[in-house]
Amino acid sequence: MAHKWVYAFEEGNADMKNLLGGKGANLAEMTRIGIPVPPGFIVTTEACIAYQKEGQFPEGMWDQVLEYLDALGQKLGRKFADDADPLLVSVRSGARVSMPGMMDTILNLGLTPAGVQTMGEKFGDMRFAWDLYRRLVQMYSKVVLDVPGELFEEVIDDVRKELGVKTDAGITAEGWEKCAVEFKKLVQKHTGSPFPEDPLDQLKLGVEAVFKSWNGKRAVDYRNNFGIPHDWGTAVNVQTMVYGNFADGVSGTGVAFTRNPSTGEKKFYGEYLLNAQGEDVVSGSRTPSNVAHLADEIPPAWQDLMKVAETLEQHYREMQDIEFTIENGKLWMLQTRSGKRTAAAIVKIAVDMVDEGLITKEEAVARVKASDIDQLLHPRFDLDALAKTPVLAHGLNASPGAAVGKVYFDADTAEAKSKEGEDVILVRPLTEPDDVHGMLAAKGILTQEGGATSHAAVVARQLGKPCVAGCGDININLKQRLFTVDNVTVKEGDVISLNGAKGDVYLGEIPVVVPAFDEQTELQAILGWADDVRRLMVWANADDPEQATRARKYGAQGIGLCRTEHMFLGERTQLFQNYILAEDDAAKQAALDKMLPEQRSDFHGIFKAMDGLPVIIRLIDPPLHEFLPSREELMVDVALGKERNQDVSEQERLLHKATELAEYNPMLGLRGVRLGVMMPDVNKMQVRAIIEAACDAAKEGVDVHPEVMIPLTAHVNELKTLQKLLVDEAEAVMAEKGQRVDYKFGTMIEIPRAAITAGEVAELAEFFSYGTNDLTQMTFGISRDDAERHFLLQYVEDGILPVNPFQTIDRDGVGVLMEMGVREGRKTRPDLEVGICGEHGGDPDSIEFCHMIGLNYVSCSPFRVPIARLAAAHAVLRERGFQGVGDLGAKAPAK
Amino acid sequence: MAHKWVYAFEEGNADMKNLLGGKGANLAEMTRIGIPVPPGFIVTTEACIAYQKEGQFPEGMWDQVLEYLDALGQKLGRKFADDADPLLVSVRSGARVSMPGMMDTILNLGLTPAGVQTMGEKFGDMRFAWDLYRRLVQMYSKVVLDVPGELFEEVIDDVRKELGVKTDAGITAEGWEKCAVEFKKLVQKHTGSPFPEDPLDQLKLGVEAVFKSWNGKRAVDYRNNFGIPHDWGTAVNVQTMVYGNFADGVSGTGVAFTRNPSTGEKKFYGEYLLNAQGEDVVSGSRTPSNVAHLADEIPPAWQDLMKVAETLEQHYREMQDIEFTIENGKLWMLQTRSGKRTAAAIVKIAVDMVDEGLITKEEAVARVKASDIDQLLHPRFDLDALAKTPVLAHGLNASPGAAVGKVYFDADTAEAKSKEGEDVILVRPLTEPDDVHGMLAAKGILTQEGGATSHAAVVARQLGKPCVAGCGDININLKQRLFTVDNVTVKEGDVISLNGAKGDVYLGEIPVVVPAFDEQTELQAILGWADDVRRLMVWANADDPEQATRARKYGAQGIGLCRTEHMFLGERTQLFQNYILAEDDAAKQAALDKMLPEQRSDFHGIFKAMDGLPVIIRLIDPPLHEFLPSREELMVDVALGKERNQDVSEQERLLHKATELAEYNPMLGLRGVRLGVMMPDVNKMQVRAIIEAACDAAKEGVDVHPEVMIPLTAHVNELKTLQKLLVDEAEAVMAEKGQRVDYKFGTMIEIPRAAITAGEVAELAEFFSYGTNDLTQMTFGISRDDAERHFLLQYVEDGILPVNPFQTIDRDGVGVLMEMGVREGRKTRPDLEVGICGEHGGDPDSIEFCHMIGLNYVSCSPFRVPIARLAAAHAVLRERGFQGVGDLGAKAPAK
């Protein structure tokens, strides 16, 4: 039996996305549940894959297409390529997951000049018929024959001028006919061949063009960027045309969301154009009306639309992004899919749907992505500053958020400047798929044209970038690289600020603030449910009482890392310098005596803030020379000072010490536990400060749980040497204070050897904390600061590394050591507390890995605590078999 | 039944060393095989361990001692502490392994003043009897009561002066009696108590003193230094006295070796003193006679001695180090053990014993230590320079080798100066156990007194340090810190040269040369037998044809590492700078074009030298900034030049580039394969040079096997990216040359991640080579250059690290990764060639580990190839269960 390459809509359902593509499967599903869908059929993704392999349609495919086309005609009583009563179809791509703008569409296939007459007569509207035809020629020539789109727009412009009209609506039947004629001349001129008039040839080439577009540069780049496998292929949807561009007042086409995709409000939201075909809305070339007006303009269709929307939401249990056409008063659905939305909308809709009984709490948690939370907690403009700054221009609030940056007018420059470290705002008349790399690089996007569903708006929401779209107030001059608003001129490189939530554009930089976490009640609900699901605890890194307080507010269940050296930044650096430069024990002790109260007071504040929760305090880690001025600068100062006969004895003293302490590879030098072993007095002072503060707090009624963390252990003997001294000091302090507190000693696991010999290390360490920054540096043999500048980002861009291992844990390398460390450590000490305190502790993919290898907690920056709470829950849900959970949902199958 | 704490000699044998100590077990063994040994018994090491734990003799021990003492008396018809016919005994320590000078001895125990009379009458020699007694008092007071030894010497000096005699031989019975009286006064004065007169108390305290000395500082330091466990304990040997100090002319005592311990010659070698007890010889306080004179002086005893020596060698199958006493013409053996000897002697004796049929070739190989070969191949003085330099002084050739260094007169200063990096010669009147740390630190040792078996001589041979002993030509003045030879004064810090093989001392520095390897026929024999045993191949690291030739001469079976960047040192550095500073592709290419012929010519020479053997060439590894002047210096130059209004444009250009390339942690920066990925043109030039040279050589009839090694791989994708380019280049060159050569591509495994993901890396790499220097740096998180200066050597000294991991592979950490790399790599590619090319490749312990984890070869510096050949054989022998093989024999049980 021949392989089945083609399915009628009636033959499919929503679960067949892999075979029929997302769009096709949903068209089939809608057909199945009785929603009005123009009939059609789908050429499968398998056919596309076979085509990519063989370079031609697979055997039997075209015959099946013709069969299904015939069946379609019979059902509708028409025939394809029949000039007397032509069956017109659209050809659309549709891959497994939505790839907006990546594939192309051809409408009105099947129409010939002869057919135009018939159509015109049948519908009683020659203008409509010629409009259909010119659309066919225009789209087909652009998509299949690669004639540049602007050329067609120029022809239409000329015709409008000729006719003296401003909009397409003013173009007459003759005008559209003329367009069609001129379009064909363009094709002849541009391709050297006449426009192919045979509808079957058109269909064949059209299907092939969709297949080819799967491996077009845009599509390949997109897939690379979003980790979509290249062997999925796309299906092709062939569907009977319905005509939204027929008979003004009773026809139209629209794009809508069943809820507000920007706020999440449960209110039908969208746009439509009367007398238009679908492409007119999404291209942004005409500014459409609010879909709510349909209720007045075509009330029966509006009522049908509301019913369909309700049915679809109940059926899919998700907000739907739909396309519809009203032909002569009748509603037809052309597409439905889960709608892209802002982070705020994702959270609100998820919570609302739980309230509505549509989904479970777990499903709600699964639907919110870590990046959504990131977006919700992202800095926003300072309201006072905002109030004082006049709005320069106003457009559509296409994607929320605050963005400040320098203006650039093309994607390449925006990308280049961003790589140089600039904050960039991409400003374009409209964006197209070719602009995506510039959008990725930009902090925000501003377009002059297009609506809330334009390419710019859709992609910006997807990327979580602030976007103001359709901002007609601005006039872009691409050649002069500037835009004007009345008499204000904004040149390339000038700074503007965008408020995506309101659609406002400001001149200059507006300061940003952090949004209030506790006011986001829907987010709180999601995180509360996430807390119920997750097994991993979430702790935070905090170096002072203020950070600890914030961390706790965000839900931190402990402090996983308090960096004591951060307490010696700024004006306190001098204290540490005094210690380093001390020439005898008395001077050293004097320096330590001054440091002690400073540290104790910090610790005391942190213990109070974390009343009842554990606080891990890491003993001093960096090499001592970091507390001295740069050796290079001292050398120059001394040389110049001598040349000028100045007294440079002080600089020479510093230089002498800096030289003594200098290291070729400071990251691998005298730091961490090595400092403690070689000069235990600093660590002893620190332990004294910790335990004194803990005892003081305990006396005040605070429930303290200090855990002292020794960094950079490579060999258990380092702990054997140092820990004993420090435990003695802790016990001595408690004896002095007449107060006992619970305390633990543990170590960071950040050196490969410590992970490998974790079984021995755990003989002394009561807890482990993975320092995955250093562990990654050493496991990869990469110095992060050097590498990102010199080769690492290039490696990631070239795909030599799948991800930047400093952002996401390298499971195959670093992860193997981590897993080994947990396993061996717990063999020695079954109740060993193991966590992570590197930057990876706030990365969702890494958090999932930490969950998988059985860590007790992740510790991240206070701002990322909510993200970590969610990601930890996602890890559980994925473990339980939930599909498409969070950020990793789309990526997961790619692995 | 009570635990048995005491064994009579008749109850033991040589296999009972762990229980009876080495000395005791050998006394038992000699007794067993009928050699004349004064009867006695042994208190076991278990008793010592029990004593250390309980702080007192274990239950029943003392009763058993008394029982055995009684039995001893019954056998000899005498009684301990019986003034009428006293049984005298010696008390000696004896641990499992010989620890020279570490334990103390008491002779003549059981003698009382009343007993002296009886003894004097019985032996007809009151002088003899009083000499025995004063020795007892002297030794007992020093060892058990801690009275400083010099005080006794002062008393004897006074008595000699009083009697007007020069030597002890001149001291009369009354003189010795007076000494004994004065000694007791000293004890009263020094300890506040009278000398204990009861022989049983003396014995009890004597045994206890031996037990206590096990945990004396000297003994503990020695054990730490040689890795001997602290819980072995020492046995105590209680043995009937025989009297070498009785009746001048027919009594004496001596120390001898069954062969020459310096040259290995099969000739009885040693020293004796007439009318002396054992301590007189080994202490070096009297200069003894050559043992050969005994043949004339006491012919029957000499003949007995020769027979005993022959019996012992046949029995033990080893050269023996013996102590004997001749009492009134009768030979008594007091000790036998395997004798310490020089490296040359070890090798010669091993080969001779194979020839004599005493031992097998494998045993011979097992007996030679890697450090022996090191010593044999160590630099010696240049003969021409030696001939031209007058000998300053001449002493005993106590331990061979050439040493040059600055003179220091005490162990502490010698050690301190050595730590500062100076080459040091320790000069002492005599050495004692307290001096060992100075001897360890010194390049050579010179003593004014003592013979070939003095402490200095024995320890120096053991340590493999050149030593001139008993050099009476020099006069040391410790206070002024100088020595004089006639009118020449050598002050502290002056440089001298020692020729240990001849016993010559020279003023100033004599240049040293490398000894000829191919002339050492016995060594060649050992290495040839080692080659038959070993499984590991031995390759060498060589960067030029000359080194390759030397490596091959030493037995290298391939080149495991040719460092191509070493070809750009010196005057060729400019070539590389030109490349780095090139501002466009043309300039880069021009620079590469100049490098190509230089590299090709080097490779060509190496291929010729290694005809028929594999040559691994590593592509350029270090970061580019290493080829530029130091950035710091450039900064100073530019600043000063500007201050002086000079033109600094050239320096600024260099500074700009140096700044661009600067890295915080260059070891983890842009180097190795990363350079290749980011700027493949250098690697392509290198591969071209390699393959061009290989093709040229092949055309000349050379059998070439080039293997191109890519350094610093962290991720298989780096190889995927670079290797393809390079293979293409290699193929292109062969096509141009019309010549095919066998080649391989492989990688260094020197980054932890590469070892962890070895299974993936082996998909591309056809061979692995462990770069254990970098692998150790990254696995430990230690920058070697920084660490050894700042903390690593201190770590080793304090025992935080058992060994310096840059000298000996850290099996528990780095080794785990190595084992993982081999295992995973061979899963992917079963015939994967795996080697090691770090410095560890020449370290015996590391070589054994490489053998154990199944490496194909070790590659080391040419000079260490012979050592590696031997060590590889030792690994096999240990695997086969041979005991005490090579250097690791003594260490092994400590693990």
Confidence band of A125 (pLDDT split at 50, 70, 90): confident
Name the token pair of B746: 């492989």
- The strand pair at A833-836 and A857-860 is best described as parallel
What is the pLDDT at residue A673?
97
For residues B376 and B515, the answer to whether their CB atoms sit within 8 Å is yes
Contacts with B793 from chain A: Cβ below 8 Å: none
For an interface test with A, give the residue of B635, B648, B657, B753 to mutate (most A CBs within 10 A): B753
For an interface test with A, give the residue of B631, B635, B668 to mutate (most A CBs within 10 A): B668
Q: Distance of CA B221 to CAs A859, B409, B433, B454, B492, Å?
A: 46, 21, 10, 20, 27
What is the pLDDT at residue B508?
93
Confidence band of A102 (pLDDT split at 50, 70, 90): low
B-contacting residues in A 614-643 (Cβ below 8 Å): 631-632, 635-636, 639-640, 643
B-contacting residues in A 688-717 (Cβ below 8 Å): 712, 714-715, 717
- Is any Cβ of chain A less than 8 angstroms from the Cβ of B790? yes
Q: Please report which helix (H) or strand (E) contains residue A273, including its range.
A: strand A269-274
Contacts with A783 from chain B: Cβ below 8 Å: 663-669
B785 and A813 in contact by Cβ < 8 A? no
- Is any Cβ of chain A less than 8 angstroms from the Cβ of B773? no
Name the token pair of A142: 């652009």
Separation in Å, CA of B648 to nearest CA in chain A: 15
* Chain-centroid distance, C-alpha A175: 45
- The strand pair at A396-399 and A467-469 is best described as antiparallel
Please write the tens of the pLDDT for every residue from B389-403.
999 999 888 887 899
Q: Which has more confidence, A400 or B91?
A: B91
Please write the tens of the pLDDT for every residue from B540-557.
999 899 999 999 999 999
Q: Is the pLDDT of residue B860 over 80?
A: yes
- What percent of chain A is modeled with pLDDT above 70? 97
For an interface test with A, give the residue of B621, B677, B756 to mutate (most A CBs within 10 A): B756
Nearest by CB to A786, which of B632, B668, B800? B668
Contacts with B783 from chain A: Cβ below 8 Å: 663-669
Q: Which has more confidence, B754 or A842?
A: B754
User: Rounded distance, CA B397 to CA B463, Å?
Assistant: 15
What is the pLDDT at residue B248?
64
Q: Which amino acid is at B543?
A: D
Instruction: Choose the weakest-confidence range: A221-235, A844-858, B861-875.
Output: A221-235
Please write the tens of the pLDDT for every residue from B362-398.
999 999 998 888 878 877 788 788 888 999 999 888 8
User: Rounded distance, CA A491 to CA A508, Å?
Assistant: 12
Q: Please report which helix (H) or strand (E) contains residue A19, including its range.
A: helix A17-32
Separation in Å, CA of A751 to nearest CA in chain B: 6
Instruction: Write out the DSSP string of A29-60.
Output: HHHHTT-----EEEE-HHHHHHHHHHSSPPTT
Contacts with B677 from chain A: Cβ below 8 Å: 791, 795, 800
Please write the tens of the pLDDT for every residue from B642-697.
999 999 999 999 998 988 898 989 999 999 999 999 999 999 999 999 999 999 99
In degrees, to the nearest 5, what angle opens at C-alpha A252 toward C-alphas A251 and A255? 150
Separation in Å, CA of B434 to nearest CA in chain A: 27
Nearest by CB to A665, which of B717, B753, B786? B786
Please write the tens of the pLDDT for every residue from A583-610.
899 999 999 999 999 999 999 999 999 9
Q: Is A230 a catalytic residue?
A: no
**3-state SS string over B501-567?**
CCCEEEECCCCEECCCCCCCHHHHHHHHHHHHHCCCEEEEECCCHHHHHHHHHCCCCCEEEEEHHHH
Please write the tens of the pLDDT for every residue from A191-212.
999 999 899 999 999 999 899 8
Name the token pair of B721: 């990216």
Separation in Å, CA of A171 to nearest CA in chain B: 57
- Strands, sheet with A320-327, edge to edge from the N-terminal-most edge strand: A289-290, A269-274, A252-257, A320-327, A330-338
How many CB atoms sit inside 10 A of residue B214's CB? 23
Mean pLDDT of chain A: 91
B750 and A781 in contact by Cβ < 8 A? yes
Report ipTM for this prediction.
0.79
What is the pLDDT at residue B170?
85
Name the token pair of A185: 């001349």
B665 and A670 in contact by Cβ < 8 A? no
Nearest by CB to A663, which of B668, B783, B813? B783
C-alpha torsion sign, points A550, A554, A558, A561? negative
* Chain-centroid distance, C-alpha A139: 32
User: Rounded distance, CA B586 to CA B683, Å?
Assistant: 17
Selection from A76-90, A290-304, A832-846, B719-733 with the highest mean pLDDT? B719-733
Which of the residues of B are catalytic? 455, 837
B664 and A666 in contact by Cβ < 8 A? yes
Confidence band of B247 (pLDDT split at 50, 70, 90): low
Please write the tens of the pLDDT for every residue from B484-531.
998 999 999 999 999 988 889 999 999 988 778 888 899 999 999 999
B-contacting residues in A 640-659 (Cβ below 8 Å): 640, 643-644
User: Rounded distance, CA A692 to CA B793, Å?
Assistant: 35
Average pLDDT over residues B607-633: 93
Name the token pair of A623: 């090499």
Mean pLDDT of chain B: 91
Catalytic residue among A837, A840, A850, A860: A837
Helix, strand and coil percent figures for chain B, each rounded to 5: 50, 15, 30
What is the pLDDT at residue A891?
38
Cα-Cα end-to-end distance for chain B: 34
Instruction: Write out the DSSP string of A177-231.
Output: HHHHHHHHHHHHHHHSSPPP--HHHHHHHHHHHHHHHHTSHHHHHHHHHHT--TT
User: Rounded distance, CA B676 to CA B548, Å?
Assistant: 26
What is the pLDDT at residue B299?
92
Phi, psi (degrees; rounded to nearest 5) at A782 = -125, 130
Q: Is the pLDDT of residue A216 over 90?
A: no
User: Rounded distance, CA B449 to CA B457, Å?
Assistant: 11
Separation in Å, CA of B97 to nearest CA in chain A: 28
What is the pLDDT at residue B226?
75
For an interface test with B, give the residue of A668, A723, A748, A820 to mutate (most B CBs within 10 A): A668
What is the pLDDT at residue B102?
55
Which residue, chain included where needed, has tokens 């979509």?
A228
Q: Is the pLDDT of residue A892 over 50?
A: no
Please write the tens of the pLDDT for every residue from B543-599.
899 999 999 999 999 999 999 987 777 677 888 899 999 989 999 999 999 999 999
What is the pLDDT at residue B103?
61
User: Rounded distance, CA B272 to CA B275, Å?
Assistant: 10
In degrees, to the nearest 5, what angle opens at C-alpha A462 toward C-alphas A456 and A466? 60
What is the pLDDT at residue A895?
28
Q: Which has more confidence, B894 or B322?
A: B322
Report pTM: 0.80
Size of interface A-B (CB pairs under 8 A): 194
A664 and B785 in contact by Cβ < 8 A? yes
Give me the torsion for CA of A595, A601, A602, A604, rounded to 10°.
Answer: 140
Q: Is the pLDDT of residue A890 over 50?
A: no
B751 and A779 in contact by Cβ < 8 A? yes
Q: Which amino acid is at A277?
A: Q
User: Rounded distance, CA B216 to CA B229, Å?
Assistant: 14
What is the pLDDT at residue B799?
86
B667 and A669 in contact by Cβ < 8 A? no
Name the token pair of A247: 């008979």
Separation in Å, CA of B793 to nearest CA in chain A: 11
Nearest by CB to B635, which of A632, A795, A810? A632
Q: Please report how many Cα atoms fall inside a 13 Å half-sphere around the Cα of residue A818, on the Cβ side.
A: 30
Nearest by CB to B816, which of A756, A795, A801? A756
Nearest by CB to A791, which of B640, B674, B752? B674
Please write the tens of the pLDDT for every residue from A238-297.
999 998 887 666 889 999 999 999 889 999 999 998 888 777 776 666 778 899 999 999
Name the token pair of A526: 């999601």
B715 and A800 in contact by Cβ < 8 A? yes
Q: Which has more confidence, A873 or A863?
A: A873
User: Rounded distance, CA B48 to CA B33, Å?
Assistant: 28
Average pLDDT over residues B698-724: 97
- Is any Cβ of chain A less than 8 angstroms from the Cβ of B824? no
Closest C-alpha among B359, B365, B312, B319 to residue B342? B319
What is the pLDDT at residue B322?
95
Contacts with B777 from chain A: Cβ below 8 Å: 668
Separation in Å, CA of B734 to nearest CA in chain A: 29
Average pLDDT over residues B428-445: 86
- Is any Cβ of chain B less than 8 angstroms from the Cβ of A799? yes
**B-chain residue closest to A783, CA distance:** B668
Q: Which residues pair with B505 in a beta bridge?
A: B393, B498
Please write the tens of the pLDDT for every residue from A639-676.
999 999 999 999 999 998 988 898 989 999 999 999 99
For an interface test with B, give the residue of A790, A811, A816, A820 to mutate (most B CBs within 10 A): A790
Nearest by CB to A782, which of B635, B714, B717? B714
Contacts with A631 from chain B: Cβ below 8 Å: 632
Please write the tens of the pLDDT for every residue from A719-771.
999 999 999 999 999 999 999 999 999 999 999 999 999 999 999 999 999 99
Name the token pair of A695: 């005892």
**3-state SS string over B640-670?**
HHHHCCCCCHHHHHHHHHHHHHCCCCHHHCC
In degrees, to the nearest 5, what angle opens at C-alpha B694 toward C-alphas B831 and B719? 50
Q: Is the pLDDT of residue A863 over 90?
A: no
B-contacting residues in A 708-767 (Cβ below 8 Å): 712, 714-715, 717-718, 720-721, 750-753, 756-757, 760
Average pLDDT over residues B793-798: 83
Confidence band of A462 (pLDDT split at 50, 70, 90): low
What is the pLDDT at residue A105?
81
Nearest by CB to A812, which of B757, B786, B794? B757
Q: Where are the beta strands (DSSP E) in A34-173?
A: 40-43, 79-80, 86-87, 89-95, 105-109
What is the pLDDT at residue B891?
38
